[in-house]
A and B are shown apart, each in its own frame.
Chain A
């Protein structure tokens, strides 16, 4: 298990390196896609700014607080997208048969699929997320305690792991439904969009769903609301704010399981 992990990480590094060199073959286009990626994600936030040109608060939250939520989710999602973003191409690889070329190599398939089309342009999203997060931290008057300070990096990394697990689980689903990469987008991109806004905007049932079923709320809502000193719309104990690493670990474990089952099914049905 540890061997497979190390070998997977090494293979990921090798393949990602090759992709970086490939992208550099088209330098002008690379620069444009980095800017494009930054701009795509920025337009998201510009929309929020435009909303705030008409109002002072949304769902009881100020622009600074929403920037804090937005930046936390955007950074976590950006990290996951950088590392695992290619997983949603799995269905395509199954359909066109190129997955088979990965299966005859002596390194884990998951690492190969994840590193495929590795694109540094995705750094644009992380940069934008961090900038907005920084803006939120600057304009807000957060009462920083050691616990709150510690929770910030924990939140960003656990959030990235939760989104990564969603990418892998979504890819595993594509072993059965090859054309369903859009379903994955609902949870990854859709989840990110949802988390950019405060939970008070949404119906209670929806909030329950993303807390207990697909635990997106642990990416930023629960920990960020603790840092902001805001109550969570569901009546939950406060220590849940510190649970993201545990939730992330469980998600990754379940995703790995789903991946193994999916790959095994592919190898027995071949389609």
Chain B
């Protein structure tokens, strides 16, 4: 267990070294936050209470999206590129002989990364958004806590999806295409572009049931106080369920891949 803590700390530090990149990223998040905030304002001006949000809740949703974009790696988050590269070059064989579990190893690193991104890329855009617009911030510390738990679960779901996709590189010569489609799904079905409760009919029902809604829609609803009491338990169960199912699928794929590497002799 201590090993994984070391790996997680390493993941945190690794991203913390790039101060310039972090500052540049905060700038980008803020620019996009402003653009989206203005479009949402126009939308909610036409239709107040759209999707059950009032304007200030809608704006809060925008800035939460910017704050969690990197944390929940909705457009991909780094480790999967590296893992795929290791599979492609065969370096993965070395990882498989390590006295650590492959999935746990990468999960720890990704949790460390997410922790950094929440602080480095999340707080400043959120604060700037709160300065420029009237946001609906929770007053109860318990809501903040419930939100953080939901974010953590979202990160695990996001990891589990990307791990699955990265392992596809064992079978595909070049996984860039699959990866791109995965990022795409993450961006759209997390609710990053538009809250999922604005998606009409069946599309909305499907989108809300897919794992990606754990990345933004669910944490945002927790933050906005739409999920409390039994609703909160359901939200957690939804996220946790997807996390477990996807991690298990990743594990099965990992076993198959390991067998393949061993057969090929590395």
A-side interface residues toward B, CB under 8 Å?
Answer: 26, 28-33, 36-37, 39-40, 43-44, 46-47, 50-51, 53-59, 177-183, 185-186, 190, 193-194, 197, 201-203, 206
B-side interface residues toward A, CB under 8 Å?
Answer: 18-21, 23-25, 27-28, 31-32, 34-35, 38-39, 41-43, 46-47, 50, 172-178, 180-181, 184, 187-188, 193-194, 198-200
A-B contact pairs, 5 of them (CB 8 A): A182-B21, A186-B31, A193-B32, A194-B35, A201-B41
List A contacts of B31 (CB < 8 A).
186, 190
List A contacts of B38 (CB < 8 A).
197, 201-203, 206
Cβ of B66 to closest chain A Cβ, rounded Å: 12
- Does B46 contact A55, Cβ atoms closer than 8 Å? yes
A29-B177, A51-B194 as given contacts; A180 in contact with B24, CB under 8 Å? yes
List A contacts of B194 (CB < 8 A).
47, 50-51
- Does B180 contact A32, Cβ atoms closer than 8 Å? yes
| Bound complex: CA A56 to CA B47 (Å) | 10
A26-B174, A182-B28, A186-B31 as given contacts; A50 in contact with B184, CB under 8 Å? no
| Bound complex: CA A226 to CA B33 (Å) | 29
Contact residues of A: prevailing secondary structure: helix
- Does A190 contact B24, Cβ atoms closer than 8 Å? no
Cβ of A124 to closest chain B Cβ, rounded Å: 10
Q: Of the candidates A26, A30, A58, A182, which one forms a contact with B42 in the assembled complex, judged by CB atoms under 8 Å apart?
A: A58
> Looking across the interface, which residue of chain A has its beta carbon closest to that of B45?
A59
| Bound complex: CA A186 to CA B23 (Å) | 12
Cβ of A181 to closest chain B Cβ, rounded Å: 7
Q: Of the candidates A26, A54, A178, A182, which one forms a contact with B47 in the assembled complex, judged by CB atoms under 8 Å apart?
A: A54
List B contacts of A190 (CB < 8 A).
28, 31-32, 35
List B contacts of A202 (CB < 8 A).
35, 38
Cβ of A101 to closest chain B Cβ, rounded Å: 20
List B contacts of A58 (CB < 8 A).
39, 42-43, 46
A179-B21, A201-B41 as given contacts; A54 in contact with B198, CB under 8 Å? yes
A40-B184, A201-B39, A201-B42 as given contacts; A181 in contact with B199, CB under 8 Å? no
